[in-house]
Structure 1
Amino acid sequence: MADDPAIDDVPVLIVGGSLVGLATAVFLGLHGVRAMAVERHAGTAIHPRAGHLQLRTLELLRSAGLEAPLQRLSAEQYFPNGAINLMRTLAEGEVASFIADLNQGVEEFSPSRRLFVAQDAIEPLLRAKAEELGARLVYRSEVVDLREEATGVLAVVRDLATGAERTVRARYVVAADGNRSPTRHRLGIGMSGYGNLSNSATIYFRADCRRLLAGTEFGVIYIDNPRLRGFFRFERALTSGFLAVNTLGDPTRPGALDVTAGLDAEGAAELLRAAIGDPSVEVEIDEVAAWVATADVADRFQAGRVFLAGDAAHVVPPNGGFGGNTGIQDAHNLAWKLAAVLRHGAGAELLASYDAERRPVGRLTIEQAYSRYRRRVTPELMDDEVPALVDDFSMEIGYRYRSSAVVPDPGDDSAAVVGHPRDAGGAPGTRAPHVWVAPGVSTLDLFGAGFALVHGRDGAAWSAAAAAIAEELGGPLRVAARADDPDALADAFGIGAAGASLVRPDGFVAWRSTSLPDDPAAALRDVLRRVLALPAP
């Protein structure tokens, strides 16, 4: 690709600048890669979608310095440990509880806590951080053509205000352009899964429900009555929020799954009143948004130099809060790999591990979102093909990667995609365990800048080996700080007093040894070359 002053050159072009696109720009920026993101809308989100941040997502945003401001925003907007329950109407009160406390038991597994934060509050924080790290964010524009060449991708970007077009040349492209993803269609990548579940609607409203909900701390309120099924999300003041409507009552009735057919503001107000159940409560409709509840995953997450992330790669109903979270986790997995190839000489084969690692998680996610949708919204349509539920801790921090970027323990031939984090034991392919190493400092806070080595109390030789290998390979490899209780650290990582664990920049264990070999430098050198797809010396 010859130099052309009329062409913008960027290392990574991100198609889509919403939640996942912005997160991708942030994580790339943390690794020293300044990306360009192109977004159709004029700015960040204006509606409070995707309002549940899972543990793993908070851990990732913690690494970007965003956890504290998100905690403040959450405390302003929502109840911190909001319950998830079921009612016929708000006036009739609770019928059943799905989750009594959003954060029950989290201290055992993570330094973070789950949060309810609206997307229209999250995105400005991500935007500011991305720009601070050098990202270029281009709004009111769209990518209208992509053409891959030998060493990169040529993209045509159109200004939606003027119609003017320009060419951008990128080494790699990340498509985070939503569930309808023009990029995915352009690449001819199909989707598979459960298909469309209902034509749903989200009703954004104002209604003073303080009297009905006084003294409660509900995060999500599912509604099930003869008129509709769906769920409420209220802001903390209990005077505004949204109602997502999935069915018009019993889903087996004709037309019940087509909520949006003929729906106008008056019809939306009628549905809202039916969900509130108290005619004395005045309602005002701000907006009605139509959407399709879908559970599908892309057949592949990579096509040459283009990668799918977020809703472009997997589309789920909101039940379980997986959508935006899974997308942010896609971005984090991909960012360090792109940076390793672009800045540290890793082999391009490393990038193939993105599909190998994230697509099985995407498949698991659509199965679990579908399962929660059926159980909570349309139990009449349950059948033997509905997957068994996997608990939230396992879904959030218990999934396991198996790829060329992970060196499994000898004899480990398990194919399980997910397990409970209590049982992970620091195994390769799992998220590194959380252990407090100092007041307020978790092991998870030690990972991110590059590869990190954790060793037991008798593993000083590992430190010397890591220093030698870092100098030899010219890439970031450092020894993580040891805990006040090194035995607790060794137990959590399953390495013993003389062993070591190599943790990737995304906080997942790449490899471990339970003993000190004769030549620890040779062992580390071999592992890093395998993980980073480096050529043999």
Structure 2
Amino acid sequence: VCVVGGGPTGLALSALLSRHGVASATLERRDAPSTHPRAHFVNARTMEVFRGVDGDLARACVDDAPALAQWRWFRYATSLTNGAALGAVDQFDGATTARTKASPTHSTHFSQHKLTRALMRRAREAHAEGASGVIEDARVEEVRADAEGVTVRAEVGAGGGTLEIRAEYCVVADGANSETRTRLGIAMRGKRDLQRLVNVHFKSRDLANDLVDDPAMLYFVFNPDAVVVVVAHDLREGEFVAQIPYLPPVQDASDFTRAVCERILRSAIGWRDGETSKKLEILDVRAWTMSAEVSETFRAGERVFLAGDAAHRFPPSGGFGMNTGIQDAHNLAWKLAAVTRGLSSPKLLQTYESERRPVALRNTALSVENFEAVLKIPTALGLPPIAANALRDVVSGLPSVIPSSMRKTILEAGLAVGRAQCGSLLTADNPIGAARRAAVKRMCDDPQGTLRLQFPKEDVGFSYEPADADGLARLHEPGTLRVGVRVPHAWMQTTRGELSTLDLVDEDVTGPRFTVFARGFDDIQEDTLSEPGGFPMRLVRIVDSPTDSPSAAFDAYGAWFKKTNHLGTKSLVLVRPDAHVACITSDPSEVVVALREASSSPAKNH
């Protein structure tokens, strides 16, 4: 398999393919991983994937991340320091841990640039050819498929010349602005231009020290000089990214020089004029476009697939972009392994799009909903985004004889009038300010009032059942035992210690393998449930008392009993290599049939 793109999705796919015994080559156009923070929220399902790939990777994401106390809050204020607090939302509602009963692990706040480095190490360590399994500074120029395979041609920097790779399959994971997707002629569908922003990556120990008593993941700032969202990527290191909206075509990203950005940042922070002892260092300034789009297809022919941001672009609200991409890789890796190792018909690969595209559409819709929730608070403060857009449209429609510099001045003057409402009118003791502050507080106190961080159903409750009438993935409560849904987490006592049902699916994997959890079948054997030459399968007997059998697991807390008791005293749950349930039954013959079908077709209700 040739993987185009060495970001989180491509590197996760490389590590997963190696784990399943599949040879791969990953081509990354950059000559080194980016140091610019982007995504930063790793949800529980992605952490479960990492736990299955390599326990050290999952532990690093937790151990190297800030403590929950530093990122559990979203705060709304007139400035980060020395300003009026408008409201705050504890995204964990007072809980002392991010862990829930639905998962053996938990979400964390670990910035993408750090995660990418960790994934790069893991991908190279797991690869049969070591570091050469991921080739950096390789710009893919062509992906050409035929009946027998795929040829990928890349130009390698620093005199490396042209590299040509022949593979059975190719996965395109080269990001939101995928050049390869464009060459393949695959269009994106959705909302292309929700908002334009400038990201300012900066470090400031002084700011981190000032925020020690008011830590947060996100700070939403509204004052007469700045409307900014500041992401605290790591308060321990004083690493931040400020998101500053701008309005083309009147404004341009080039207007935001480092000097302009520092002035905006100091206003957003609330450092007073002349407070020069407080330092910040701007590391990078980048413009980007917020979109909500999903590719019209996740495949080009029979041998080329799209994954990650190359297949879907979400608003960052909710943190679904990187997580969805890594989970794309998790779904696709075992299927590529099954086909390339001769365990399954290529028809199995058709299920990648039918399963993952509805998830992408669902997460797109939720991300847009979250983005709209973000806009509620500025609207309540008298700063409706629709007004700024209308002003921009008026200014851009002025006669062409008016120079662009004057247009910018007119637009900025109008925006300044709007922002002025976040001065003394908002903070002083007057009816308008009091009403607006009260409105923001109500929104922050309402669980559905503004932007949320946790979405348990979308996180671990999405299903690979046929999509709903709108083409969206179906959702279920976390822990639901149902065909198509991730198998419920339940702690089990084994001869290797306490393991989750998810750990038992992933344990000692050297290739794609199904798992059967059998309760009440004390004498059943693996050959009763599988066919000669069929998909590899592991039998785990769930027992009601301590055991010294390596193939058994003691349901010490009764969690599995509660999930399966409605089936009677006997139950068989067939689980795919990606931990999604393929069959629930009490009849062994149905497992045989389901195992045969699941190797080449979508999950079915048995």
Q: Give TM-score scaled by structure 1 length.
A: 0.85
Unaligned 5+ segments in structure 1 are: 1-11, 249-253, 383-387, 405-411
Offset at 1:504? Answer: 0.5
Letter in 1 for 2:481: G
Correspondence 1:115 to 2:173: no
Correspondence 1:48 to 2:17: no
- 2:447 match: none
- 2:484 match: 429
- 2:265 match: 272
Letter in 2 for 1:475: F
Secondary structure, aligned partner of 1:480: strand
Percent of aligned pairs sharing the same letter? 31
Correspondence 1:57 to 2:80: no
Letter in 1 for 2:349: L
Correspondence 1:177 to 2:174: yes
Correspondence 1:530 to 2:597: yes
Deviations 1:164-217 (A, max 9, x none): 113211100010000111121111111111221122111111231145312233
Asked if the contact 1:143–1:156 (Cα under 8 Å) also holds between the matched residues in 2, the reply is yes
- 2:455 match: 392
Secondary structure, aligned partner of 2:100: helix
- 1:324 match: 322
Asked if the contact 1:191–1:299 (Cα under 8 Å) also holds between the matched residues in 2, the reply is yes
Deviations 1:419-445 (A, max 9, x none): 3424x6310011110111136421111
- 1:155 match: 152
Secondary structure, aligned partner of 1:223: strand
Correspondence 1:87 to 2:87: no
Asked if the contact 2:38–2:111 (Cα under 8 Å) also holds between the matched residues in 1, the reply is yes
Offset at 1:244? Answer: 1.9
Paired with 1:194 and 1:173, the residues of 2 have a C-alpha distance of: 28
> 95-104 vs 281-290, which deviates more?
95-104
- 1:491 match: 562
Deviations 1:459-491 (A, max 9, x none): 235x42x33444613432011352433753143
Paired with 1:529 and 1:110, the residues of 2 have a C-alpha distance of: 29
Letter in 1 for 2:483: P
Residue correspondence of structure 1 range 194-343 to structure 2 within 5 A: 194-207=191-204, 208-226=206-224, 227-237=226-236, 239-245=238-244, 247=245, 260-279=253-272, 280=275, 281-304=278-301, 305-343=303-341
Paired with 1:317 and 1:356, the residues of 2 have a C-alpha distance of: 23
Offset at 1:259? Answer: 6.7
Asked if the contact 1:86–1:221 (Cα under 8 Å) also holds between the matched residues in 2, the reply is yes
- 1:472 match: 532
Residue correspondence of structure 1 range 316-465 to structure 2 within 5 A: 316-377=314-375, 380=384, 392-402=455-465, 417-422=473-478, 425-438=480-493, 440-448=498-506, 449=509, 450-456=513-519, 458-460=520-522, 463-464=524-525
Asked if the contact 1:451–1:476 (Cα under 8 Å) also holds between the matched residues in 2, the reply is yes
> 348-357 vs 255-264, which deviates more?
255-264
- 2:430 match: none
Matched residue count: 497
Secondary structure, aligned partner of 2:29: coil
Secondary structure, aligned partner of 2:65: helix
Distance 1:475 1:295, change over 3 A: same
- 2:437 match: none
Cα RMSD, aligned residues only: 2.9
- 1:4 match: none
Distance 1:415 1:235, change over 3 A: closer
- 1:39 match: 28
Match of 1:512 among 568, 584, 596: 584
> 308-317 vs 64-73, which deviates more?
64-73
- 2:401 match: none
Distance 1:498 1:40, change over 3 A: same
Secondary structure, aligned partner of 2:554: coil
Paired with 1:44 and 1:318, the residues of 2 have a C-alpha distance of: 21
Asked if the contact 1:197–1:257 (Cα under 8 Å) also holds between the matched residues in 2, the reply is no
Asked if the contact 1:446–1:481 (Cα under 8 Å) also holds between the matched residues in 2, the reply is no
Distance 1:509 1:211, change over 3 A: same
Correspondence 1:74 to 2:65: yes
Secondary structure, aligned partner of 1:218: coil
Offset at 1:495? Answer: 4.1
Paired with 1:413 and 1:294, the residues of 2 have a C-alpha distance of: 24
Distance 1:79 1:48, change over 3 A: farther
Offset at 1:400? Answer: 0.9
Q: Give TM-score scaled by structure 2 length.
A: 0.76
Letter in 1 for 2:475: G
Distance 1:81 1:234, change over 3 A: closer
Distance 1:19 1:414, change over 3 A: closer
Asked if the contact 1:447–1:507 (Cα under 8 Å) also holds between the matched residues in 2, the reply is yes
Deviations 1:62-95 (A, max 9, x none): 112211122111148x856532232221022542
- 1:8 match: none
Distance 1:499 1:413, change over 3 A: farther
Secondary structure, aligned partner of 2:532: helix
Paired with 1:495 and 1:244, the residues of 2 have a C-alpha distance of: 52
Paired with 1:235 and 1:289, the residues of 2 have a C-alpha distance of: 19
Asked if the contact 2:40–2:233 (Cα under 8 Å) also holds between the matched residues in 1, the reply is no
Letter in 1 for 2:72: G
Asked if the contact 2:297–2:353 (Cα under 8 Å) also holds between the matched residues in 1, the reply is yes
Paired with 2:170 and 2:269, the residues of 1 have a C-alpha distance of: 46
Deviations 1:359-378 (A, max 9, x none): 01111111111111121146
> 352-361 vs 477-486, which deviates more?
477-486
Asked if the contact 1:490–1:496 (Cα under 8 Å) also holds between the matched residues in 2, the reply is no
Letter in 2 for 1:85: R
